[in-house]
Chains A and B, each alone.
Chain A
Amino acid sequence: MDRSKFPEIVDGKSQYDLDSGRFVKIWNGPQHPGVTGNMALEVVISGDEVVDLKTHVGYLHRGFEKLMEQRLYIQNFPLVCRICVPEPDTNEYLYAAAVEELSGLEVPERAQWLRTLTLEMSRLASFIMWLGGQAGSFGMGTVGQWAVAVRDYVLDLFEAITGGRIYHMYITPGGVRDILPEGFDADLEDVLKKVEKFMHDAEIVLFHNAVFKKRTKGLGIITPDMIDPYGILGPNARAAGSTRDVRKDSPYAVYDKLEFNVIVGSDSDAYDRARCRFQEMQQSIELIRQIMEIMPRKGSFYNRPPNVLHWQIPPGETYVKAESTRGEYGYYVVSDGSNKPRRVYVKGPSYTHAVALFEQMAVGTNYADLPGLMVSLHTYPPEIER
């Protein structure tokens, strides 16, 4: 193909001149159905090809980190889950873990198992949502319809455990709020079967679909030497051959007692990333079954912290991390000895994917593939701006 009409690319940045009239600048979003979440893309195209892209974030900024400095430690517990809507449990777990580590509060064994169960369930729900989005971005709305319906069954399970569909506020400093309701095992197995059936269908409809294969193979390639300079995490990095998985590398909760392998891909394009995530969904289902089998059913599930209204935490700082569906999620909490945190920093994995990496990767792709590329990175804007 004759590339002479396209601008030269120096260090991943295109050298173009908008005034020449050969390029068109398009504002894509925030009010746009093809953009995940509430963010905007400033795209420069030449013909069908993306020449330059800039991500604009900040539409969902609520100042969480500032608000957390204003509130007591226990008042922050219902606040943190709102940072990530499709997968709030990771935030709850990390905040609780950080506070427990700083204050020296012990967590009962049973609570750790219940925490792991909800963490895996929320991973599953988030992956299902992603699968629907990935199919929808390539024009396969049917899978999207199925996915949202199936995810709702998982949300029903959450409602049974915690009382909330989206925000659970379940993992609290010191343990969890409640034990599993009666008859939950049968319901869970029922839902897992439904999810498996959906995944079986999705495999045929999506992964064996020529259109999907053709559009995703070779789209958005992440080479292994890009992983560290761009801070790529999670399935995006694992599809490029990295073997990092926080659940395996530095096990938290009870992941050291579960048997699972880190899923690693090799092709590192959008199709392979989708494959990796699909396998992680199967792994999540497996893990949930394992947890239900060996989870202790007796014992305490909550260690009461001291009077939470006057709860002062000794000075110190810590960083805790956990594996969310998008990669390593981290909380950096600084305490100065008072009853309010001095600083809480939330490190969401989308932070690096959606800005530095996406801006680089989008150059040279087809404009129509842009939503698909974005979903294949599994970005989620509220993590970026918080």
Chain B
Amino acid sequence: MKSTENKIIHPLENAGVPEDQRHLYCDASPRPYPALNKYVERFLNWARANSLWILGYGTGCGAIELRPLLTSRFDISQYGMNPRPTPRQSSVFIIGGYLSVKTLKRVIRSYEQMQNPKFVVGLGSCTVNGGMYWDSYNTVNRLDYYLPVDVYVAGCMPRPEAIIAGFEKLKSTIMAGQAEGANEYAERFDWYKSNQKKIIKDWDMPDYNW
């Protein structure tokens, strides 16, 4: 995947527009945050990995397995995870399966509102390659073309144990300092935006909703 593969449609909504015609929203694109001192970063990663807060947005049928996961049977709180109602407070975005174009638009908005560092878990086969809905006209096939994905959990649908295993994998990735999704999103912002704009035909929101 190189950023030169796809033609960039246009960078930011406000770019090149005279001062008086600009939209009222901020048009700064995201910027990557370089790693700090090695030891500080290691400590921060340890802290991040042990308090993952999940955004409570059930985007697909995978959300039904999140309920047993969050409640007493599988009890995800024992791993330091917790559902949060708003993107501003959360660090993990679980894409619960297939994404229709209409949902993808909301997902992008929610994802961009989350604060760095943020992680995306793709749940179910349909986030990997479209799964059952690979030839559907309304669901995306590859999630990683629109958002940077850290961990995929395959299956239709994945059992709660599989999701826990996925989170364990995510934790070890964060500990190792390799879960750099937010920075990747900032670095390849134009590529992600051009992919997103290719399928979201009525783009009526700011390019970057932080």
Interchain CB contact (< 8 A) of A149 among B61, B73, B87, B98? B73
Interchain CB contact (< 8 A) of B157 among A30, A37, A59, A167? A167
- The A284-306 residues at the B interface (CB cut-off 8 A) are none
Does the CB pair B156–A30 fall under 8 Å? no
Does the CB pair B100–A31 fall under 8 Å? no
- The A3-44 residues at the B interface (CB cut-off 8 A) are 30-33, 37-38
A33-B85, A166-B64, A382-B61 are contacts. A60–B73 as well, Cβ < 8 Å?
Answer: no
> B-facing mask of A40-66, CB < 8 A → 1, else 0?
000000000000000000111111001
The reply on A355 being an interface residue by CB < 8 A is: no
Interchain CB contact (< 8 A) of A67 among B55, B60, B64, B135? B135
What are the residues of chain B within 8 A of A62 when measuring CB–CB? Answer: 98, 100, 133, 136, 138-139
> A-facing mask of B47-69, CB < 8 A → 1, else 0?
00000000111111101110110
Interchain CB contact (< 8 A) of B67 among A58, A63, A70, A148? A148
Residue on A nearest B107 in the bound complex, by CB: A31
What are the residues of chain B within 8 A of A167 when measuring CB–CB? Answer: 156-157
Does the CB pair B156–A148 fall under 8 Å? no
What are the residues of chain A within 8 A of B78 when measuring CB–CB? Answer: none
- In the bound assembly, the distance between CA atoms of A165 and B137 in angstroms comes to 28
Interface-central residue, B83, B100, B110, by most chain A CB under 10 Å: B100
- In the bound assembly, the distance between CA atoms of A32 and B64 in angstroms comes to 15
The reply on B132 being an interface residue by CB < 8 A is: yes
Does the CB pair B64–A61 fall under 8 Å? no
Residue on B nearest A129 in the bound complex, by CB: B67
> B-facing mask of A164-190, CB < 8 A → 1, else 0?
011100000000000000000000000
Does the CB pair B71–A144 fall under 8 Å? yes
Interface-central residue, A62, A86, A145, by most chain B CB under 10 Å: A62
What are the residues of chain B within 8 A of A63 when measuring CB–CB? Answer: 133, 136-139
Q: Smallest Cβ distance from A156 to chain B, in angstroms?
A: 10
Does the CB pair A31–B61 fall under 8 Å? no
- In the bound assembly, the distance between CA atoms of A149 and B64 in angstroms comes to 13
The reply on A152 being an interface residue by CB < 8 A is: yes
What are the residues of chain B within 8 A of A155 when measuring CB–CB? Answer: 68
What are the residues of chain A within 8 A of B102 when measuring CB–CB? Answer: 58-59, 61
- In the bound assembly, the distance between CA atoms of A48 and B146 in angstroms comes to 39
- In the bound assembly, the distance between CA atoms of A294 and B98 in angstroms comes to 42
Residue on A nearest B57 in the bound complex, by CB: A31
- In the bound assembly, the distance between CA atoms of A24 and B16 in angstroms comes to 35
Q: Smallest Cβ distance from A284 to chain B, in angstroms?
A: 20
The reply on A82 being an interface residue by CB < 8 A is: yes
- In the bound assembly, the distance between CA atoms of A31 and B71 in angstroms comes to 20
The reply on B142 being an interface residue by CB < 8 A is: no
The reply on A85 being an interface residue by CB < 8 A is: yes
Does the CB pair A86–B103 fall under 8 Å? no
Does the CB pair B137–A60 fall under 8 Å? no
Residue on B nearest A58 in the bound complex, by CB: B102
> A-facing mask of B164-199, CB < 8 A → 1, else 0?
000000000000000000000000000000000000
A59-B106, A61-B100, A167-B156 are contacts. A86–B64 as well, Cβ < 8 Å?
Answer: yes
Residue on A nearest B104 in the bound complex, by CB: A59
What are the residues of chain B within 8 A of A148 when measuring CB–CB? Answer: 67-68, 71-73
Residue on A nearest B133 in the bound complex, by CB: A62
What are the residues of chain B within 8 A of A85 when measuring CB–CB? Answer: 61, 64
Residue on A nearest B126 in the bound complex, by CB: A62
The reply on B159 being an interface residue by CB < 8 A is: yes
Interface-central residue, B61, B63, B87, B135, by most chain A CB under 10 Å: B61
What are the residues of chain A within 8 A of B83 when measuring CB–CB? Answer: 33
10 nearest interchain CB pairs? A148-B71, A31-B57, A59-B103, A85-B61, A63-B136, A33-B85, A149-B72, A152-B73, A85-B64, A145-B71
List, sorted by A's number, 13 A–B pairs whose CB atoms are closer than 8 Å: A31-B87, A33-B85, A58-B102, A59-B59, A59-B106, A67-B135, A79-B132, A144-B71, A152-B68, A152-B73, A165-B159, A166-B65, A382-B61
Other A-B pairs, 18, CB within 8 Å; known A67-B136, A70-B135: A30-B106, A31-B56, A31-B57, A37-B58, A59-B102, A60-B60, A60-B98, A62-B138, A62-B139, A63-B137, A63-B138, A78-B132, A79-B132, A144-B71, A148-B67, A148-B73, A149-B68, A149-B73
